[in-house]
Structure 1
Amino acid sequence: MNTASRYAIFATLISDGQKISDGALAIEDDRIRFAGSRDDWLTQSDADQFPEHPVPLGSILIPGLIDLHNHGALGADFANPEHGQVSDALDYLHRAGTTTLLASLVTAEPAEMLRAAEILAEFAEAGKIAGIHAEGPFLSEARCGAQDPRFLRDPDPEFIDELISASRGQLRTMTYAPERPGSEELIEQLVALGVVPSLGHTNASAQVTATSLQFAREQLQNAGVDGFTEKPTVTHLFNGMPSLHHREPGPVAACLEEAARGNAYLELIADDVHLSPETVRLVFNLIGGHRVVLVSDSMSATGLSDGQYTLGPAKVTVSDGQARLADGSLAGGTATLLEVLRCTVSAGIALTRAVESATSIPASLIGLADEVGSLHYGFCADVVVLDAQLELHQVIRNGQVL
């Protein structure tokens, strides 16, 4: 581990849609002291007090990746968290380039969800994760995917209060199906508690979907919380919802249109399993990268070989890197967010756009736009060092080389 309190790295910088080919990044303790051109850095009066941290020729520096939808890794299932396993999983994910993440729950018995939230809250308070994402239990049975249908139900204000209490205020986002009775009241309650509504696992019509996203945006705008997003998100677009049909456009069409109008952000699991490269390219080109959030949806098998795993109460088989239930339904991903980023670039998306969708854009959605997700003065020194082929060379988190 690098224990130097000051050092500088010279490489190509990519951040916030910009690229500096002959760049310099200076780090002091856990903060970025300078990010810009090498020539500008060398004119700084104290530049000689920052020893060079060597990286291979042709290296690329990007902000630490931010994953808003992550169920675990390295054998740890965040829906059934055990302290030691979660610690190991987070260490693995941080070293794989995901320096900031939300730990995602799945639908389960209420007591199990509350227990998981209590444990994960400890990791949030320790700065290991940025909070919790609840995927359920207010989802559609028809589009439940790997969510256990036995525990799906209509929105319950009392359970939300219990979940907020169990998570000690660390719940950041929640997936909901808009066709469920009480979904508007749920949105109002979530926003009032500082939780971002995320539409997904839904069988709703295009009209119901659009109306719900518009209502959620109005509630978020009216909340007026400093640093809080003013737009809802959509949980893994295309997955957990009916396919777009020319006579029954359904939620996919509505989500695309609302995102294009600036009313929502769309999660994409761009791992070449959940979505084809052509679909990923289509979404970026239709609505622009500023409304796309790349996520991994990774589960406990991430970082391990094929075999038998769990996702909450569900039993999952991983074969050829694909996680599926017994009925063949996809049950989360096994790729890291860096691998998702590489797949996105391979699909034809410019690296600068893809990086934004995995860094500054998700940071803005969970109120961290002034802290992480960008290479800027004063920001947390979370950096991923890549080679020219986008292979991982090194990860820096809070200024420390992992």
Structure 2
Amino acid sequence: MGHLISAAAVVDVDVDLEPGWVEVEDGLITASGTGAPPRDPDEHHDGILAPGLIDAQINGAYGADFAVATDEEWERIVDELAATGVTAIAPTFITAPVEDLAEQLRGYRRQRARLAGRPGATRLLGAHVEGPFIAAACKGAHDESFLVDPTAERIDALLAAGGADLGYVTLAPERVGAIEAIQRLVAAGVRVSIGHSDADDVTATRAVDAGATLVTHLYNAQRGLRHRDGGVVGVALTDPRLTPGLIADLHHVDPIALQVAFASAGDRVMLVTDDLSTFGMPPGRYELGGARVVIDEGQPARRDDGTIAGAAVRLDTCIANVVRHAGVDVATAIRAASTVPAHALGAPELGTLAPGTPADLVVLDPLELRVTAAWVDGRRAG
């Protein structure tokens, strides 16, 4: 007989805030349902029981950048992040020389194997390489001197280095060779995200036709919606084949733009943090992909020129922000940080409370929507 957890409300793939329960045994959900549990629960929560949260774009945390993190820093991140309800992540490695990115991917493969099954710790999904195949006009905080076209040789170098641990690549489809690169990546089982791009809607749609399925931080560092050119934003909001990531920290995207995103793309929107090493740290100077950034109290990180460079926000805060400031219903907001990224990243066994799936769970306070408890593989985080 497994460990039975009940809650005043449950959010699942097709469940919107109904009383319910799950039973957990040997790291898996063995049974789940709505209404009264089949027996007295081993523990009951007055909050919202939901699948574990998944962050599809995060550069680091707790003072460490994934590109240069030590073994001890990786351990601290996966241990402490799980307690915030983020039970799985796709670590992001930003623009750098291709040979450096290849080395970072090789290092990540070692970390992912080493940390697999760490009790109660955030699980590591396929890595996200953001650049260097992006547009100079939309580089954001990326180093322009490292930007290059996605030649077959460069793509093959990343594929060889990342292997099955490379999850997705962000690129600008207007770069020379980008459409062929998308096809090459997709054929190798790697997802492609449109981002840091000044592409018009025709070019963005060509990228989707070639196999791109994601959009990196919707609105930010990409051509916006114009009345005679939908741009990347227009395609992201209207093409059902795309999952747009959205940084809902209220700095990167205005509340009205959040409303537009959910009103247009609905259950396709994926909440991400784009957190840096600054997450969980006091104001000060930190590193992003080798560049120095500064964070002031209550503000996102910025480079010395004032450019926003990632965030320092909890994923459950993003959920609360779209509920409070964009009028999104609670169940949709929670799924945007759990079920949607699970499917977008090719991990449909996550983001659900279905029997037979990993017991990655969270409980959120029903008023504040802040995570109060979390489990990874049925083991309590924190």
TM-score class, shorter: over 0.9
SS of equivalent to 1:190: helix
SS of equivalent to 2:164: coil
**Shift of residue 307, structure 1, vs aligned partner:** 0.8
> Cα deviations across residues 270-289 of structure 1 (Å, max 9, x unaligned)?
11111112111111112222
Q: Which one of 7, 31, 35 corresponds to residue 34 of structure 1? A: 31
Residue 24, structure 1, aligned to residue 15, structure 2: no
- 1:85-96 pair list within 5 angstroms: 85-96=73-84
SS of equivalent to 1:328: coil
Task: State whether residues 322 and 330 of structure 1, in contact with CA within 8 Å, keep that contact through their aligned partners in structure 2.
Answer: yes
Counterparts of 2:98 and 2:79 in 1: how far apart (Å)? 28
> CA distance change for structure 1 residues 287 and 54 in 2, over 3 Å: closer, same or farther?
closer
Counterparts of 2:188 and 2:289 in 1: how far apart (Å)? 25
- Aligned amino acid, residue 52 of structure 1: D
Match of 1:375 in 2: 353
Q: Which one of 345, 353, 358 corresponds to residue 332 of structure 2? A: 353
**Shift of residue 209, structure 1, vs aligned partner:** 1.5
> Cα deviations across residues 257-298 of structure 1 (Å, max 9, x unaligned)?
32xxx1211111111111112111111112222x11111111
TM-score, normalization: structure 2? Answer: 0.92
Residue 179, structure 1, aligned to residue 174, structure 2: yes
Q: Which one of 224, 229, 237 corresponds to residue 243 of structure 1? A: 224
Q: How many residues are matched?
A: 370
Match of 1:394 in 2: 373
TM-score, normalization: structure 1? Answer: 0.88
Counterparts of 1:184 and 1:16 in 2: how far apart (Å)? 33
**Shift of residue 216, structure 1, vs aligned partner:** 2.0
Q: Which one of 313, 317, 329 corresponds to residue 290 of structure 2? A: 313
RMSD: 1.7
Match of 2:119 in 1: none
Q: Which one of 43, 48, 55 corresponds to residue 53 of structure 1? A: 43
Q: Which one of 151, 157, 167 corresponds to residue 162 of structure 1? A: 157
**Shift of residue 17, structure 1, vs aligned partner:** 4.2
SS of equivalent to 2:301: strand
Q: Which one of 186, 199, 203 corresponds to residue 204 of structure 1? A: 199
**Shift of residue 20, structure 1, vs aligned partner:** 4.9
Residue 257, structure 1, aligned to residue 222, structure 2: no
**Shift of residue 214, structure 1, vs aligned partner:** 2.4
Task: State whether residues 210 and 255 of structure 1, in contact with CA within 8 Å, keep that contact through their aligned partners in structure 2.
Answer: no
**Shift of residue 182, structure 1, vs aligned partner:** 0.2
Residue 80, structure 1, aligned to residue 68, structure 2: yes
- 1:196-345 pair list within 5 angstroms: 196-216=191-211, 232-258=213-239, 262-289=240-267, 291-319=268-296, 320-345=298-323
Counterparts of 2:309 and 2:164 in 1: how far apart (Å)? 28
**Shift of residue 352, structure 1, vs aligned partner:** 0.9
Q: Which one of 101, 109, 123 corresponds to residue 111 of structure 2? A: 123
**Shift of residue 120, structure 1, vs aligned partner:** 1.3
Counterparts of 1:116 and 1:68 in 2: how far apart (Å)? 18
Match of 1:228 in 2: none
Counterparts of 1:123 and 1:394 in 2: how far apart (Å)? 26
Match of 2:187 in 1: 192
SS of equivalent to 1:349: coil
> CA distance change for structure 1 residues 79 and 140 in 2, over 3 Å: closer, same or farther?
same
**Shift of residue 247, structure 1, vs aligned partner:** 4.5
Counterparts of 1:254 and 1:381 in 2: how far apart (Å)? 35
Task: State whether residues 98 and 157 of structure 2, in contact with CA within 8 Å, keep that contact through their aligned partners in structure 1.
Answer: no
> Cα deviations across residues 27-71 of structure 1 (Å, max 9, x unaligned)?
1120111211243x41xxxx57xx61243xx21111101111111
SS of equivalent to 1:323: coil
> Cα deviations across residues 203-222 of structure 1 (Å, max 9, x unaligned)?
112221122222326xxxxx
Match of 2:133 in 1: 138
SS of equivalent to 1:62: strand
Task: State whether residues 56 and 272 of structure 2, in contact with CA within 8 Å, keep that contact through their aligned partners in structure 1.
Answer: yes
Task: State whether residues 26 and 35 of structure 1, in contact with CA within 8 Å, keep that contact through their aligned partners in structure 2.
Answer: yes
- Aligned amino acid, residue 4 of structure 2: A
**Shift of residue 360, structure 1, vs aligned partner:** 1.3
**Shift of residue 344, structure 1, vs aligned partner:** 1.5
Counterparts of 2:166 and 2:103 in 1: how far apart (Å)? 13
SS of equivalent to 1:275: coil
- Aligned amino acid, residue 183 of structure 1: A
Residue segments in structure 1 that go unaligned for 5+ positions in a row: 218-231
Match of 2:97 in 1: 109
- Aligned amino acid, residue 66 of structure 1: I
> Cα deviations across residues 224-277 of structure 1 (Å, max 9, x unaligned)?
xxxxxxxx111111101133333554322232232xxx1211111111111112
SS of equivalent to 1:169: helix
Residue segments in structure 2 that go unaligned for 5+ positions in a row: 117-122
